[in-house]
Each structure stands twice: as structure tokens, then as C-alpha cells.
């Protein structure tokens, strides 16, 4: 199983690595079998799965619910739970309780915080700097951060502080590629970029963006490796059409009343997963 020590080894060996978001059992199972070393149960699920306009309405209970599903589907990946807005802002005690729930109830191995802390308590923490969605209103929208020298200096200083505080890695989001490369070079711990150029140690994308399941214009940093939204649309339309025409279900999709054995191994498998 991938651990935080493996992530550090990736950087030490100059090995670039991938991280993807996962929000449910099935996607976690598929990504785990594909060998993705880190799965992030991101608070982006609020926008991607739950339909919120931003990540701000996502609750800790919602995050734990999805974390538990991901933990059931993964066997090898390092699992990181995203601490949602107002789950760690009020006090250190609140942060400890929230992070503890991710590990104890959610089955996570680490948490991600827009900032840092908690490492002294034995809770592995992934930091997050740059375009931090929980501060979207303070930033005036989803805008690239670190474009001015003052902003860049602050992000670099914050990254060093996070490393000093014990973070095992840092996500750099929505920053110029030159700044991301500069931060990466200055740190011993690994950086993971999203909209931060190729100079980071690893890269992360939202699964649904990567698979082309989200609609509309994608952010500049997203590469769609598939176009599943179109494929799902095509399949759904074909299903509805065949139901309407009566061509589905066909004889090979039905059971006989005489108790005859299914005609194939596939049919036997269908019986196992059927409702009758």
C-alpha cells in the first residue's frame, strides 16, 4: 500500500506521480486497480457530485460519507480526505476532532487542509496553497494566484512554513508554472500541481474533468482523456429508443419460467446480481 513515506520517496527518486479525486466505491476500485497511488476525496465533490455552486456548502458529514465509500473500494492507494470549509477554522480542538473522524470513521490515511497543522498529533497532513477554493470569495473568484512578486513571495514562504510544520506534501493550485517550479525546488517535500504547470513533483485532476463527464468549457489546465458525457448520452438515448421500440429486453436478456439453467457464464453472473 502507498504511504506518505512512499510519496516522499517518489520525489527523492525523481519519480513523477499522479493523484486523482474519487468520491465513491466504484471509482475508487477502478482507480486503485489502475495503480493510481493517491486518491483524494476532495471537497470538489460538492460541485461535481452534489451540485453546489462552490465547495463552501459541503459539510463534514457529507465528506465522511463519501470517504467511507472510497475506503471500501481501495486497497493500495494512499487515501486523503479533504477537510471542508469550517471543519477546522474555529479552533485547534475542532480541527483535531474533524481530522480524527476522517481517519477513524472515514478510513482515510491523511487529510488535506488549505493551510496546515495537526502533524504534531500524528495526523499526516497535505497542505494546499495558491488558488484555495474555500477562500474563493476572499480572492474575488477562481483566479490565478501568485502572479505578483509579493503574492509569489507569500506563497513560497507559506510553503516553507508548511514543510517546517510537518506537512508531507503540498498541493499547488492555480499558480504560474514558474512559481510552482520555484516552490518545488525550494522544498524537500513533494508538490502536487493542478493548474500549476509541469514543474511540480506530481499532478492531480478531478476525475470527472479528466474523464470528460463535466460539461461546458473546461478550465485551461484540464486535459480530457475521454469524453464520457457524450458516450453516456449516446448509451442512454439508445436504451430509451430500444425500450420504446420493444427491442430491449431481447430473449438473451430474459429468464425462462421452466427453471432452465442460464445459457452462458455471463447469464449466471447476471442471476447472481439480479433482484429475483
Query: pLDDT at residue 178 above 60?
Result: yes
For 86-97, what is the mean pLDDT? 93
What pLDDT, on a 0 to 100 scale, did the predictor assign at position 276? 39
Percent of the chain with pLDDT over 90: 83
Per residue in 120-146, pLDDT tens?
Answer: 678 999 999 999 988 776 666 778 999
30-73: per-residue pLDDT in tens?
A: 999 999 999 999 999 999 999 999 999 999 999 999 999 999 99
3-class SS string, the chain: CCCHHHHHHHHHCCCCEEEEECCCHHHHHHHHHCCCCEEEECCCHHHHCCCCCCCCCCCHHHHHHHHHHHHHHCCCCEEEEECCCCCCCCCHHHHHHHHHHHHHCCCCCEEEECCCCCHHHCCCEEEEEECCHHHCCCCCCCCCCCCCHHHHHHHHHHHHHHHHHCCCEEEEECCCHHHHHHHHHHCCCCEEEECCCCCCCEEEECHHHHCCCCCCCCCCCCCCCCCHHHHHHHHHHHHHHHHHHCCCCCHHHCCCCCCCCCCCHHHHHHHHHCCC
What is the CB neighbour count within 10 angstroms for residue 3?
14
pLDDT of residue 181 exceeding 70: yes
Q: With 60 as the cut, is the pLDDT of residue 246 above it?
A: yes
Whole-model pTM: value is: 0.90
The residues carrying an active-site annotation are 173
Average pLDDT for residues 104-117, to the nearest whole number?
90
What are the tens digits of pLDDT across the range 206-216? Answer: 999 999 999 88
Q: What is the pLDDT of residue 135?
A: 73
Amino acid at each position: 500500500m502507498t504511504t506518505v513515506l512512499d510519496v516522499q520517496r517518489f520525489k527523492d527518486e525523481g519519480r513523477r506521480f499522479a493523484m486523482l479525486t474519487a468520491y465513491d466505491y466504484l471509482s475508487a476500485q477502478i482507480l486503485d486497480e489502475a495503480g493510481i497511488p493517491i486518491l483524494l476525496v476532495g471537497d470538489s465533490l460538492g460541485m461535481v457530485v452534489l451540485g453546489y455552486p462552490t465547495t463552501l456548502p459541503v459539510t463534514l458529514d457529507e465528506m465522511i460519507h463519501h470517504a467511507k465509500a472510497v475506503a471500501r473500494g481501495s486497497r493500495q492507494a494512499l487515501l486523503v480526505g479533504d477537510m471542508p470549509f469550517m471543519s477546522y477554522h474555529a479552533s485547534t480542538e475542532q480541527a483535531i476532532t474533524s481530522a480524527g473522524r476522517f481517519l477513524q470513521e472515514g478510513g482515510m490515511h491523511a487529510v488535506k487542509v488549505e493551510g496546515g497543522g495537526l502533524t504534531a498529533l500524528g495526523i499526516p497532513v497535505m497542505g494546499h496553497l495558491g488558488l484555495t477554493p474555500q477562500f474563493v470569495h476572499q480572492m474575488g473568484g477562481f483566479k490565478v494566484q501568485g502572479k505578483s512578486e509579493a503574492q509569489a513571495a507569500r506563497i513560497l514562504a507559506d510553503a516553507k512554513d508548511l514543510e517546517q510544520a510537518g506537512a508531507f506534501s503540498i498541493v499547488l493550485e492555480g499558480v504560474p508554472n514558474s512559481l510552482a517550479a520555484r516552490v518545488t525546488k525550494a522544498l524537500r517535500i513533494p508538490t502536487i500541481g493542478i493548474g500549476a504547470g509541469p514543474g511540480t513533483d506530481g499532478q492531480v485532476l478531478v476525475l470527472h474533468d479528466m474523464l470528460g463527464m463535466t460539461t461546458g468549457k473546461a478550465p485551461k489546465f484540464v486535459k480530457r482523456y475521454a469524453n464520457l458525457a457524450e458516450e453516456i448520452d449516446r448509451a442512454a438515448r439508445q436504451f430509451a429508443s430500444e425500450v420504446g421500440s420493444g427491442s430491449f429486453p431481447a430473449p438473451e436478456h430474459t429468464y425462462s419460467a421452466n427453471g432452465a439453467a442460464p445459457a452462458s457464464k455471463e447469464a449466471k453472473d447476471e442471476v447472481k446480481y439480479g433482484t429475483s
